[in-house]
Amino acid sequence: MPFKQNVYEKALYKEPAPIRDSEHPFQAMIDRFDIAAKILELDPGFYEYLVTPARVHITAIPVVMDDGRIKLFEGYRVIHNEILGPSKGGIRYAPDVNVNEVKALAAWMTWKCAIVNVPFGGAKGGVVCDPANMSPGELERLTRRYTANLLDVFGPDKDIPAPDMNTNAQIMAWIVDTYSMHTRNSSTAVVTGKPIILGGSLGRVEATGRGVMSVTLSAMEKIGMRPGQSTVAVQGFGNVGSIAAKLLAEKGCKIVAVSDVTGGYYNENGFDVEDLIRYSEANKRSLAGYPEAQEISNEELLTLDVDVLVPAAKEDQITSANAPDIKAKIIAEGANGPTTPAADRVLDENGVLVVPDILANAGGVTVSYFEWVQDRQGYFWTLERVNKRLDRMMKTAFDNVYNASEQYGVPLRAASYVLAVDKVASALKLRGIYA
Ligand code: GLU
């Protein structure tokens, strides 16, 4: 779709934005923020305030490993912003996680919560570790010590973690327990994404994938694409990718390609996604060796001739190098930051409708909010109620972003940032600067 505004020239660059891929996720966040700041004519003081993380915690985590050695891990918790409410965001365990990435992810949480109208600020945590090569005991000790180190940071009214890459409901249960032991009370609302029996919400596990499905259908509707006649490729087969694939298949889409760390898998007739999920679960979460699939590379998956592409793996997958070859008409970003700013420009020029991460994957934090509300009320909702409210909030958020995109004549990503930044800036204006 041709946009009225050339957002790339409107950005706050001294020179017109060069075609380059960001070296750092935080810079990628700022590049998008700049576009919104320019459109909103944001006051320079507000600009500084809103890009700067409120607090960056870096903590050393000693863990006694199973062989008796003491190993030190580095952990992070970045509180980006608390203007709209307590800060909210997941914790990721990964060998390559770093503070720059966590800063970007924390800021994205701020914008995400603002877009779906959830009363939270943004935060994110990370621990540099390789969970695939750690025993459950080692992971438990790591999680408990990370929680103990950050005890003053976390709290149901302060900062509320959740699962992210390589963390899950069990890890959230250890956080609840450690936190509750220290505070001498039962604080289930200190994290979301917990096991149901400990105050988790029905539908939370599927929520991010469900939200991706919901915005994909909304985007299809806008361009007159019918689910029953469309093909989809999904990069990443973790919690987000597998559920998005399953739910899109239920709506009639043909899922012709999926991938995980072992590579890409293609079937022109469409996969039975439930069978793929069963296979992956029985195979230590790997799709390797799945019968009736042609093996393809990750790069091939991204540039397949499909109607919809769902990047649901990690950052910086769609770059200026492969964006020109992308054939999908819709990209729904299940992952955080899968597209670089340089690729944005190419995709926009090629008329690809990109539903950006801070909108497309906001279903997770939306149901996290429902979980927090249920914990605080001690009254739990049916799955039907959770899903209905989630669908409604995602649809409203999509429509708001789409309308802003038309109003400002900018792509959906720029429109999302405009809405989010405007909302947080308006709240900041009302609260003022405490001196
Ligand atoms: N980690 C998820 C995200 O990136 C969920 C965060 C949450 O529920 O707090 O949106």
Q: In what order do the strands lie in the sheet with 263-266?
A: 294-296, 263-266, 254-260, 231-235, 308-311, 330-332, 353-355
Q: What angle do CA 145, 238, 150 make, to 5 degrees?
A: 20
Per residue in 33-70, pLDDT (tens digit) is 999 999 999 999 999 999 999 999 999 999 999 999 99
Mutate to test the pocket of ligand 1, among 29, 110, 365 (most ligand atoms within 8 A of CB): 365
Predicted local confidence at residue 23, as pLDDT: 66
Distance 89 CA to ligand 1 centre (A): 5
The average confidence (pLDDT) of the chain is 95
Per residue in 393-411, pLDDT (tens digit) is 999 999 999 999 999 999 9
pLDDT tier at 5 (50, 70, 90 boundaries)?
confident
Residue 20 in this model has a pLDDT that exceeds 70: no
| Topology alike, domains 1-50+205-361+409-428 and 53-187 | yes
Per residue in 192-214, pLDDT (tens digit) is 999 999 999 999 999 999 999 99
Distance 136 CA to ligand 1 centre (A): 23
Residue extents of the structural domains in the chain? 1-50+205-361+409-428, 53-187
Distance 88 CA to ligand 1 centre (A): 8
Cβ–ligand 1 contact at 162 (below 6 Å): yes
Cβ–ligand 1 contact at 368 (below 6 Å): yes
Environment class of residue 357 by beta-carbon count within 10 Å: exposed (0-12), middle (13-18) or buried (19+)? buried
Protein residue closest via CA to atom 8 of ligand 1: 365
Is the distance from CB of 39 to CB of 418 less than 8 angstroms?
yes
Domain 1-50+205-361+409-428 fold: Rossmann fold (3.40.50)
> Which of 3.40.50.150, 1.25.40.80, 3.40.50.10860, 3.40.50.1010 is the CATH number of 53-187?
3.40.50.10860
| SS3 letters across 151-197 | CCCCECCCEEEEECCCCCHHHHHHHHHHHHHHHCCCCHHHCCCCCHH
Q: Among the atoms of ligand 1, which is closest to the Cα of residue 164?
A: 1
- Alpha carbons 222 and 224: distance in angstroms, whole number: 6
Closest by CA to 142, choosing from 126, 158, 157, is: 126
Cβ–ligand 1 contact at 90 (below 6 Å): yes
- Alpha carbons 307 and 330: distance in angstroms, whole number: 6
pTM of the model: 0.95
Residue 17 in this model has a pLDDT that exceeds 90: no
Backbone φ and ψ of 11, nearest 5° = -65, 170
Q: Among the atoms of ligand 1, which is closest to the Cα of residue 160?
A: 9
Q: Among the atoms of ligand 1, which is closest to the Cα of residue 365?
A: 8
Closest by CA to 20, choosing from 415, 323, 409, is: 323
Catalytic residues: 124
Element (H, E) at 432: none
Q: How large a percentage of the chain has pLDDT more than 90?
A: 94
Residue 22 in this model has a pLDDT that exceeds 70: no
Is the distance from CB of 192 to CB of 372 less than 8 angstroms?
yes
